[in-house]
Structure 1
C-alpha cells in the first residue's frame, strides 16, 4: 500500500530534525575536536564519561573571557557566565533563525516537533516579554514561602521512604539497595506530584516520562534514542493535557489548580500551550535535577566521612552542604545561548548570530571565586555562589524547592543511617551529557 504524503511528512520532519540537530553537528564537532577545538573536546569527553573535564575548563579560562572555538564562544569563568546569562541580547537556546534555506528547512521540520523542555513556549526557551509575563504568573505559586510550607510534608515522605529502603535492604543478600530507585527519585517525584495534584497511581508514569525525556537536552543522540525521546515527549504531552483538563473540571488546593486559574492584574493568563509547557517543565525539571542532587551529594558525603560526621553532630550546616554539593558535582553541565544583536560582554564584542556556551560546572570551579575549588568542603563560606541553577532571567524557578528537598533528603537519610556505605564499584552514572547524576547508586544502610 502506498502511504500518503501527509502521513510521510511527520516522519520526514523528524528525520530532518535529527540530521540537523544531532547527526551533522556530531560529525562536525568530532572533526573539530580532533583538530584541537576545546569545546569539541569537552563534548567528546563528556559523551564517554560524566567525569568533569577540569583540565579543559582550565584551558578555556586561560584563553580569556571567551575561548573562540569553531562553533561557539565558550566561557568557564564565573563572572563571565553570570554576565552572559544576564545580557538581554543573549537569548536562550541554539538554533537556526532567519530566512536562509537551512533556517527554512529547520523551521519546516519543527512543525511536527513535540513540546519539550527547550522548545517554545517553555520558560527555558522564551524571552521577554513572554518570558517575563509567564514567569510572573508561575512565580506566584512557587515562592520561597510556599516551598517552606512543604517542608513538613517532605519530611514525612522521606521517613516513609526510608522505612521502605531499610526493609528492602534487609531482604537483599548484600544488604544493599539502590538509593536512586528507592529514595533519591521517589522523594522529589512524590513531592512534585502532590504539588501539581497528580494522583498517586500515576506517579510512576511521571517518573518514567522524566527519565526517558532527560536526553532531550543533549546533542548527538542516535536516531533510535532521538525517536524514543520524541515518542516520550508526545506521550507526556497527551498525559499532561488529560491532567490539566482533569484539574480544570475538579480543582483542588494544589498548586496546579492555582496555576490553571492564576491571572495577572491586567487580566492576562497562561495560554493553553504555555500552561501545558510550564506544567511539563515543572513536573520533569522539578524532580530530575533533584534526583541527581541527592545521589551526587550522598556519594560525596560517603567519600568525606569526617564532613558527614560534622553535619550529623550539628557542627556544619546541611543547607550549606547542599550548596557545596551543587557546586562541586552539579546536576547540569552547561547551557547554550544565541546572540540576537551585536553586543559587548566582558569588554569583548560578540556579534549577532554567534553561539555562546556557558560552562556552569566550569564556573563552579573558578579559582578566582572559590578557594581550592577542587576540594569538597561543606563549610565553604561562599558555596552558595555557584551557578548550578543558572543565572539571570532564566534562573531556575524551582531552586528553592530543590534546595529544601535536598536538605531534607540528606539530613533524614544520614540521621537514620549515620554509617551509610556507598558501593562505588557497582554505582553507575547516567549516560546523559547535560544532566549529570547516578542511574544506580547501591548503598548499605
Structure 2
C-alpha cells in the first residue's frame, strides 16, 4: 500500500519532463511509473499540467540565529523557504552570534533550530580556529566557509593565505568543500555614499579576479574541493574555465539577483539593492547567463542575507550589504530564465541537482527517482504574481524585488511525502530535519 500517488503531465525526472505517477511510501519515492497501480494507493493527487519537481536545495542562506534573531531566525527563514519550494537549505556560519567556528557554537545553533524545512550547516574558517575543524567535521558540518575580505561581522574575520594553508589539507582529507567569498580588497574611493555607480566602482571586478586566482592556486596545491560563492564578475570566467579544464575540484555559484537585475537600472539611494559583490552591468550579467547555460557556473543560490530595516537605510558606505530573497528563489530565476529560452530541466539542474552534489546529499535528495526522499514542489510556471513585501515570510520584508511581476507560483511543498505548504497556508507543524553529515 502506497501512502500517496502524484499524477501529472509535467513530472521532471532525471530522464526529462514526462507524464508520470510518483508513488510515495514512508517518506520516500517508492517508484515512478506510467499508471496508478490499481487500488493500493491511500491518496491520489492529480496535478494535471502543473509542474512537479524535486524540492530545491539552497546552499547559501544566512539565518542569523542564535544571537541575531532580530535580523531573521530559523522560524521565519524556513517558512519563507517552503513558500519558494526550498526543502533543504544550508545555514552560513556568520551573522549568528556566536559564529559557527566551534563545536559549542554549532551545538547552540542546532538547539535553537525550529525548522519548517530541512537545514544543514557550514562551519567557519577564521584565523586561529584550525584546531576546531576536525571536531566540527565529526559533529556533521557539510563543509566550511571563509572570507578573503571583511565579512561585515567583526567576529568572523577574513582569513589569510597562511590560514588557508593550514585549513585546506584538513578539509581536503575529509573530501568536504571549502566555500570562499572571493574578493581581495584594495583601497576604495574616498566616498561611495552617493550613487550606485560609485558603489559599483568601489568593489571592482578585479577584486574577484585576484581572489579567484589565489583560490585556484591553493585548490591545485592541496587538491581541496573549492566552491566560489555568488560570482558576480564575468571577467573571472576565463580562469575558471581553465581550472575546470585541468580537472580541479572547483565549483561555482551565482545568485538570482545577479541574473535578474543590472546596474544600469538600479536607482540611486535604494539600499535594498546593496550586496557584496555588487550587481554589475547588463553586459556582464548576460555573460553570467551564458556561463550558467554552458555549465561553467554550476548552480544558483540566493545568498539570503537579511537585516533589520534601519540597517538598510543611510548610504552605500554604511548600510548593510545583503539581499533578502529566500521566498523568491524559484520565481526570480524562472522569470529571468524564460527571457533566455531556458528549459525547466535546467532550472532543476541549477536549483535542485547541482547543489546536492555540493552538500553531499545527492544520494537521497534532489531527484524524482526511486529511493530518494519525497521532498517535492508543485508549481505553475505560467502563473504570475506581483511581489508585495507584506506577503513575504522573511522577518523584514525588505527586497529589491518589491513591486516586480514574477512568473512561477509555488502551489504546494512536500517534505518526505507530507504536504507542509499549500497556496500560502502552512499545513503541518515544523517537519524539517537537521542535515548532518555522518
Q: Which TM-score applies when normalising by structure 2?
A: 0.23
Bigger proportion of residues as helix: 1
- Select the structure of larger CA radius of gyration: 1
Structure of higher RCO (CA pairs closer than 8 Å, 6+ residues apart) = 1
